[in-house]
Amino acid sequence: MKNILHKEFIDTIHFEHYYERHYVTGSLNNYIDYIWTTRFDVLWQDHPHGFTDKLYPNIGYTYLINLGTPYTMFIQNQPFPMKADGFLPRFHTIACKHSVGNQLLGIKFKVSPILLDKKIDFSEYKHAMFSLSYLLPANVIQAIKTATSFSTAVHIIESYFNNLIHQADNNIVTTVTQAIQCFESNVYKTIPI
């Protein structure tokens, strides 16, 4: 069996050159860290048998949309073969095994605005990959997959989540925004509801 090269995000050159990121602005900035996609085409010449990316734990989570061939995600060294789109918890060290044809698009969240639309206990989603179909409508996923460019996909994502925020009751949005700001400043105080 051929050895597979491992790339860690400590390798800033890898992260900076082979991932394209879009940092959101406005009200989405309270919910989304960034939207990203892989740009691995030039890596396949040097790594025809594939490689893995390793990421260290954090408190966020990511929606992954598969724009290419199947890949394998490892959470606590347990493999999750992925052909479709998934919800990726980030509470543990994770690794993604890439092979020729892989292309992923991800939404890295602070807190998902989907909570304004559905009651979800994300604490139940800490130890495995899950289907994205419950969290993101099929028509939105399909629109992202058929987008002709990364910027078009970003526009679709931003429009969808901005619409969720604007449809929500202002009291809920204000409470969530205050909670996020409170968390970020590490000043724990009572938030009036």
Tell me: the pLDDT tens digits for 53-104? 888 887 778 899 999 999 998 988 889 898 999 988 777 888 899 999 999 9
Mean pLDDT computed over 100-109: 93
pLDDT over 50 at 191, yes or no: no
Percentage of residues in the chain having pLDDT higher than 70? 80
- Determine the average pLDDT of the residues in 166-184: 68
Amino acid identity, residue 152? T
In this prediction, residue 188 carries a pLDDT of 44
**Which of 93, 61, 92, 68 shows the shortest CA–CA distance to 82?**
68
Sign (positive or negative) of CA dihedral 129, 18, 109, 186: positive
Give the least confident one: 23-32, 43-52, 82-91.
82-91
Helix extents (H) in 56-193: 138-145, 150-167, 170-185
Q: Grade residue 172 by pLDDT with cuts at 50, 70 and 90.
A: low
Identify whether the C-beta of residue 187 lies closer than 8 Å to the C-beta of residue 37. no
Spell out the domains of the chain, with CATH numbers in brackets: 5-167 (2.60.120.10)
